[in-house]
A and B are shown apart, each in its own frame.
Chain A
Amino acid sequence: MAEATTGRRPGVRFMSRSRLTGLLTVATVIALWFLLTSVTGLVGEFRFPSPPDFLAAFARLASTGYAGGTLLEQALQSLRLVAIGFAAAIAVGVPLGFVMGYDRRAEAFFNPIFLVLRPIPPLAWIPLAIVWLGLGDASKVLVIFVAAFVPSVINTYTGVRNVQRTLIEAALVHGAGQGRLIREVYLPDAAPMIFTGLRLSLQASWTTLVAAELVGAFLGMGRVLSTAYRDINTAMILVSMVCIAVLGAITMMILARVERSVIRWRKT
């Protein structure tokens, strides 16, 4: 423990300095925001809300609710769908990508399917998903699945394909069988690429979820956004944008934490 803290000390100092710069930037932006809206009135409220308007809209969403639910209900709805769609996508995508990278026959079999599916933008699946499954949760989960699936497969596949030849050989000449080869060489060496895929998948999950909810939903952050747009409520539009950003950032941080606990051997 003691070693870990001392080892991190220079990093902490660097972080706090960059964090200070970051805080200054945020403070400047908020000051400018105040100046352009509340103070001078150069930007009208139909273009962009003032900080007090923004806070009022946030308070309203958090307490009485908006577009069919409170902030907590709306956020949990979106989080739940992202979690289900993302989990399903990586549960299928990572093993499939692994098999494609590990086995030439699997690669030959699955690659053509991807060459056809890959160029279709995930959002283009939304109409079909709604026609099939309606405006409820199932269609959103399907769209998230399709969007998150591709990057997790492609990156896992690439990571496994590029496992260092000499490490495979080192394992073989020291008697490793197929099981140990996969667990102790292929998976750890491909892990950084697999996590890159997971990050891209998670980003894609949020993008497609919001888009799908914009097209039609009963509840969720995208629904808040589309309702605010119909009401021409710029303050609520901004509130939902910020909430979506915060939710996305929280899930990315969770993923980054998982990555750090799995990949402990990294230099940094």
Chain B
Amino acid sequence: MSEIVIDNVGKVFGEGGGRPFLAIDGVDLRVEDREVISVVGPSGCGKTTLMRMVAGLEHPTSGEVRVGGKRVTGPGPDRAVVFQQFALFPWKTVRENITFGMRSRGATKAERDAAVAHYLTLMKMEGTEDKYPHQLSGGMQQRVAIARSYATDPGVLLMDEPFGALDAQTRTIMQEELVRLTNDNPRTVMFITHSVEEAVYLADRVVVMARNPGRIREIIDVATTRKAEKWSEEPIDDVMEMPSFTHLRGQVWRLLREQMGSDI
């Protein structure tokens, strides 16, 4: 079981010197095992910081994060991260990148070969196993990064605006692929984005954050609507034009806009 429990977490930056900055204040959130949540919010609301604390790359200054009942004290392969800038190892081939996390877990050569074949087929990237990242397009690189995290077989997948650096068309394809992947192979997913459409399309619940200090404004349920309206059976463009989708999107938008208003 890989549920994420964020228990009254606060984060202050610059405590050692300089002016302390309260990035996150008293966040409580429970992500169920195999649930997909997306986190949206204005820049500076601490959504990436929150994800990084789950990853173990940052440490809360108050409260604690638990994954599968265990307190997070540092990074580990049970919580793989997909980064916005892909973060593939430039000196490793596609095959070596995909199997990087598997090797941490002691997977055999046969298992690794099988995984490479599986993910490359799944992502329609057959024949690229011996290419280096710079020989691939941005979309392909991000597919490899997702495959690397998936192949590590983590209970929790953390995604930090993974499609932010891609063009609109590639982005749409990747969103569909991710939905397929999480359907076939469910994981607990925390998906950070600043795209409202993406947040609503991908997640079971959308967490809307506010800033100054970073906190949760509201959590909107999507899973009930998705199931009732059978979103997963339609192509992404059609889903995004369905009234059920636009209604939820509007709801998230209003929550975000009300914050921007308070800014002006």
Question: What residues make up the interface of A, taking CB atoms closer than 8 Å to B?
Answer: 164, 166-167, 169-177, 180, 184-185, 188-189, 191, 263-265, 267
Identify which of A166, A173, A191 contacts B75 (C-beta below 8 A).
Answer: A173
Given known A-B contacts A188-B89, A265-B91, A174 and B101 have beta carbons under 8 A apart = yes
Identify which of B55, B88, B104, B134 contacts A180 (C-beta below 8 A).
Answer: B104
Question: What residues make up the interface of B, taking CB atoms closer than 8 Å to A?
Answer: 55-57, 74-77, 79-81, 83, 85, 87-92, 100-101, 103-105, 132, 134, 148-149, 152, 158
| Secondary structure dominating the interface of B | loop
The answer to whether B152 and A184 have CB atoms under 8 Å apart is no
Least CB separation from A170: chain B residue? B87
Identify which of A173, A184, A191, A263 contacts B89 (C-beta below 8 A).
Answer: A184
The answer to whether B149 and A174 have CB atoms under 8 Å apart is yes
The answer to whether B75 and A169 have CB atoms under 8 Å apart is yes
B127 CB to closest chain A CB (Å) equals 12
B190 CB to closest chain A CB (Å) equals 13
- Please report the C-alpha to C-alpha distance between residue A72 and residue B81 in the assembled complex, in whole angstroms: 59
Least CB separation from B85: chain A residue? A166
Given known A-B contacts A265-B132, A267-B134, A175 and B77 have beta carbons under 8 A apart = yes
The answer to whether A174 and B80 have CB atoms under 8 Å apart is yes
The answer to whether B132 and A166 have CB atoms under 8 Å apart is no
The answer to whether B134 and A175 have CB atoms under 8 Å apart is no
* Residues of the A chain whose Cβ atoms lie less than 8 Å from the Cβ of B92: 184, 265
- Please report the C-alpha to C-alpha distance between residue A191 and residue B91 in the assembled complex, in whole angstroms: 10
The answer to whether B57 and A175 have CB atoms under 8 Å apart is no
The answer to whether B83 and A174 have CB atoms under 8 Å apart is no
The answer to whether A174 and B90 have CB atoms under 8 Å apart is no
The answer to whether B81 and A169 have CB atoms under 8 Å apart is yes
**Interface CB pairs A-B, < 8 A, 6:** A166-B83, A169-B75, A170-B83, A170-B89, A172-B74, A265-B132
Identify which of B75, B87, B148 contacts A167 (C-beta below 8 A).
Answer: B87
Identify which of B75, B91, B158 contacts A188 (C-beta below 8 A).
Answer: B91
- Please report the C-alpha to C-alpha distance between residue A188 and residue B89 in the assembled complex, in whole angstroms: 9
The answer to whether A173 and B79 have CB atoms under 8 Å apart is yes
* Residues of the B chain whose Cβ atoms lie less than 8 Å from the Cβ of A175: 76-77, 101, 104-105, 152
B148 CB to closest chain A CB (Å) equals 7
The answer to whether B83 and A169 have CB atoms under 8 Å apart is yes
CB-based closest 8 A-B pairs: A175-B104, A175-B77, A174-B101, A170-B87, A172-B75, A188-B91, A265-B91, A173-B81
Known: A171-B89, A184-B89, A264-B91. 15 other contacts (CB 8 A): A166-B83, A166-B85, A169-B55, A170-B81, A170-B87, A173-B75, A173-B81, A174-B100, A174-B148, A175-B76, A175-B152, A184-B92, A263-B91, A265-B90, A267-B134
